[in-house]
Amino acid sequence: MVLFANERMDATGMGYQDQVFAQREQLLLTTARELFLAHGWEQVSVARVAEAAGIGKGTVYRHFPTKEAIYAQLVLAFSRRCLETYRQMPAEANPLLTMHRIIRRAFDLMNANRMEVQLCLHCERPEFQDRLDDAYRARFRELDQDYFDLFNGLAGEAVAGGLLKLGSVEEVHSGVETAFHGVMTRIAIGGFGACYGPETMESYFDHVADFLMAGIVGTSQDAWKRGIALCRT
């Protein structure tokens, strides 16, 4: 029986060989992660990962159908870890503040895991997803849905509390989602160009998080359209 990708890592109902297999898969993933971190995931060959893990190259392919599946597994693990973190964060005084806190925390989490963020963006591309096994693809979709639910939960509370207009939720989601991807890309790029940019990544994150909240609140108030119309050039 082949167990791809640490599903059912609990030892119950597993034969000894299965446990050895699962352990080796974990070793493989951590080894790959270390090498990817040290040398960049595109520069690290499967053979090198195998060697570093003290395992034959062919064995790697008993665990993962392709090198890209290793990427996918690392991304899924990271993404799940993040989601769990967000879920366990305490609610603030109101849902928009909670959202602000989660967003700000997400930026820090992603910034501390640049390689995973790069892989995330890489794995989201349809060219990548199309090449992927159905099983992996399903897990990505599931996570997408979980994140969407998390957002909708908070947005729903905000609507219920009169902080957000129901009609603005979709626009706000677009904005938040876009800012997320923007920050991910900034992190993946690895900082700012020579000619501009804030002092530190932290202040950049603060700016974007605040900007986002301004957008969320402003969107529901339609303030900018009225505001701008009143001003002269």
Partner DNA sequence: TGCCATCGTGACCGCTGGTCATGATGTGAC
Partner DNA sequence: GTCACATCATGACCAGCGGTCACGATGGCA
Pick from 125, 135, 166, 200 the residue near its own copies by CB under 8 A: 125
Taking CB within 5 to 8 Å according to partner kind, which of its own copies, DNA, none is near residue 27? none
Rounded distance between C-alpha atoms, residue 24 and residue 21, angstroms: 5
Pick from 23, 148, 166, 202 the residue near its own copies by CB under 8 A: 148
CB of 32 to DNA, least distance (A): 11
Measured over all CA atoms, what is the biggest interatomic distance in the chain, rounded to whole angstroms? 76
Nearer to its own copies (CB atom), residue 57 or residue 141: 141
**Under the rule (CB under 7 A), what is the footprint of DNA?**
1-2, 15-17, 20-21, 24, 44-48, 55-59, 61-62, 65-68
Q: CA 65 from chain center: how many Å?
A: 23
Taking CB within 5 to 8 Å according to partner kind, which of its own copies, DNA, none is near residue 141? its own copies
Nearer to DNA (CB atom), residue 58 or residue 90: 58
Pick from 23, 30, 145, 200 the residue near its own copies by CB under 8 A: 145
Residues whose CB is less than 8 angstroms from the CB of residue 179 and which lie 6 or more positions away in sequence, other chains included: 103, 208, 211, 212
Site for its own copies in 165-204 (CB under 8 A): 170-175, 177-186, 188-191, 193-196, 198, 204
Nearer to DNA (CB atom), residue 48 or residue 101: 48
Taking CB within 5 to 8 Å according to partner kind, which of DNA, its own copies, none is near residue 210? its own copies
Nearer to DNA (CB atom), residue 25 or residue 116: 25
CA dist 77 → 30, 150, 190, 213, 215 (Å): 11, 18, 22, 29, 31
Cβ atoms within 10 Å, residue 115: 16
Give yes or no for residue 73 binding its own copies (CB under 8 A). Answer: no
Cβ atoms within 10 Å, residue 98: 19
CB of 62 to DNA, least distance (A): 4
Q: Of 115, 143, 148, whose CA–CA distance to 41 is shortest?
A: 115
Nearer to its own copies (CB atom), residue 55 or residue 215: 215
Q: What are phi and psi of 218, to 5 degrees?
A: -65, -35
Cβ atoms within 10 Å, residue 144: 12
Residue 176 and residue 216 in contact, taking contact as beta carbons nearer than 8 Å: yes
Nearer to DNA (CB atom), residue 58 or residue 162: 58
